[in-house]
Amino acid sequence: MVVTGVSPTRLALLRTNKRIELAKRGHKLLKEKRDALIMEFFSIIRKAKKLRDEVESEILEIYEMFAKACAYSGSIKINTVANSVKMSYELKIYERNIMGVKVPLIEFKEKEFNYDFLASNKLLDEIIARFRGIMKKIIELAELEATILKLAEEIQKTKRRVNALEYVIIPRLEEIRKYIQLKLGEMERENFFRLKIIKRKLKKKELQ
């Protein structure tokens, strides 16, 4: 690596040593952050997978129940009940912090839910109750998946910073340090020989 634009002085060497020390400390902290983020990332992925499996299984069960309801009750009755449903929800999205990463926190609240109970039957009541219950899980799953995306982005950014420090910045600073040390060594040797020459000359003058 060619070093240019660096003054080989003691002060420059001290500053370079300080920069190397700070870069190595930053590298260590970023590696720790990256590793902690990766652990949290995989923990949330496992949680999301478990919840997704639950949601998919429940939806499949509900649709099987719905198919039975269609066969037993007929489409007219089902449409009557479906058209009578009145529901409204409130969603509030906040932020929470995971190791410096802002991720969504979704608050789900059911404000209104009613339908024509008299036009319904036991099977349709159960289907409606199951759909209401699964809504919260779907919102939770959306929150987890959004968190996974945010963490993945931050992990990539942190990896890039770690690699930049490890493979570019720290090696370059160490090359600069070597260059300064080499130049200072050369200057010290030159000064030493120059002093020796001066001493010889002075000695010769004393002898004359």
Each residue of 14-71: pLDDT tens digit? 999 999 999 999 999 999 999 999 999 999 999 999 999 999 999 999 889 888 888 8
Q: Please check whether residue 168 lies inside any domain of the structure.
A: no
Q: Is 38 domain-assigned?
A: yes
C-alpha distances (whole Å) from 20 to each of 23, 25, 58, 65, 177 are 5, 8, 56, 66, 9
State which residues form the domain around 50. 29-150
Res 84: pLDDT: 84
Q: Tokens 């120059």 — which residue?
A: 194
Q: What is the pLDDT of residue 77?
A: 82
DSSP bridge pairs for 108: 91
Distance CA 154, CA 33 (A): 10
23 domain residue, yes or no: no
- Euclidean distance between the first and final Cα of the chain, in Å? 52
Q: Percent of the chain scored above 70 by pLDDT?
A: 94
Instruction: Kindly state whether residue 56 falls inside one of the protein's structural domains.
Output: yes
Q: Could you count the other beta carbons within 10 Å of the beta carbon of residue 70?
A: 12
* pTM score: 0.77
Binned at pLDDT 50, 70 and 90, residue 206 comes out as low
Count how many domains the chain has: 1
Tell me, yes or no, whether 63 lies in a domain: yes
Vertex 112 angle, CA 142 and 116, to 5°: 115
Is residue 74 assigned to a domain? yes
In a domain, 82, yes or no: yes
Q: What is the pLDDT of residue 123?
A: 87
Which tokens go with 146? 């959004």
Is residue 11 situated within a structural domain? no
Stated as kind and residue range, the H or E segment containing 144 is helix 122-164
- Amino acid 39 reads M
120 backbone dihedrals φ, ψ, rounded to 5°? -90, -175
* Amino acid (one-letter) located at 70: C
Assign residue 119 the CATH number of its domain.
1.10.287.3240
pLDDT: is 61 or 109 the higher one? 61
**Residue 85, pLDDT score:** 82
**Distance (Å, whole) CA 134 – CA 55:** 7
2 — pLDDT class (breaks 50, 70, 90): low
